[in-house]
Structure 1
Amino acid sequence: MKQKILFVVCLLFGLMFINSGLNKFLNYMPTPTDLPEKMQKVMAAFMEIGWLMPLVGAVEIIGGILFIIPKFRALGAIIIFPIVIGILLTHITVVPSGLPIALVLLAINLWVLFENRQKYLPMVRASL
């Protein structure tokens, strides 16, 4: 039962990141008109750096795909983790109204990292 729940949660999580990454290339979701001024400035700065949004979009797509496939989920969780931290910090500092969803994303990512901790141990041991 736990594996089925984990799969469904990972499927939704991965699809959300794939959708977000594709939107960075195809721009099919409109930008909300009621964004706080601070967030508009942040997004304008990100767009000014021409390579940043395509990089984030590619990482989201690749990480989302890997997150869905059980064999590669551990790698997907590591790839997506910096993006989730960025989402969390953005909502803590700029748009606190989105903090609940950011915390849910962090919890899902940490759950998958915890479930795959045995796969990360050789990497940690090798660096000690």
Structure 2
Amino acid sequence: MKKKLLFTACLLTGLLFINAGLNKFLNYLPMPEKMPEASLKLFTAMVQIPWLMSLVGIAEIAGGVLFIIPRYRALGALILTPVMAGILLTHISVNPGGWFMPVLMTFVMIWSIIEQRRQYLGLIAR
């Protein structure tokens, strides 16, 4: 039961990352009409660096796909951790009203990392 629940949570989280990454290239989700001024300034600054959004989009797509596949979930979590940290910090500091989804996704990633902690031992072993 626990494995099925973890897989479902990782599937949904991975799909959210894939969706966000594809949107960076295809722009199919409209921008909100009323964005907080701080969010608008941050987004405008990020768009000024031409390769940044592409890099984040590729990381979200690749990490999301790997996070869905149980065998490669640990690698997907490694790729998505810096992206998730940026998302979480942005929502906490710039847009405090939208914190629920990033916190939930962070919880799923931490749960996945804890469940697969043995796979990370090779990174820290001598």
TM range (shorter): over 0.9
* Partners of 1:67 and 1:76 in 2: CA distance: 4
For residues 60 and 122 of structure 1, what CA distance do their matches in structure 2 show? 24
Q: Distance in 2 between matches of 1:57 and 1:122?
A: 28
2:6 and 2:103 map into 1 onto residues whose CA distance is: 17
* Paired amino acid for 1:113: I
Residue 49 of structure 1: aligned partner: 49
AA partner of residue 95 (structure 2): V
2:118 is the counterpart of 1:100: no
Identity of aligned residues (%): 52
Supply the AA of the counterpart residue of 1:61. I
Give 1:65 shift: 0.2
TM-score relative to the length of structure 2: 0.97
Please state how far the C-alpha of 1:100 moved relative to its aligned partner. 1.7
The alpha carbon displacement at 1:101 in A equals: 1.5
- Residue equivalent to 1:38: 38
When the two chains are superposed, the root-mean-square deviation of aligned CA atoms in Å is 0.7
The equivalent residue for 1:69 is 69
Structure 2 unaligned runs (5+)? none
**Where in structure 1 do 4 or more consecutive aligned residues deviate above 4 Å?**
none
How many residues of Structure 1 are paired with residues of Structure 2 in the alignment?
126
Q: Which runs of 5+ in 1 are unaligned?
A: none
Partner of 1:80: 80
Distance 2:14 2:123 in 1: 24
Cα displacement (A) at 1:121: 1.1
Letter in 2 for 1:65: V
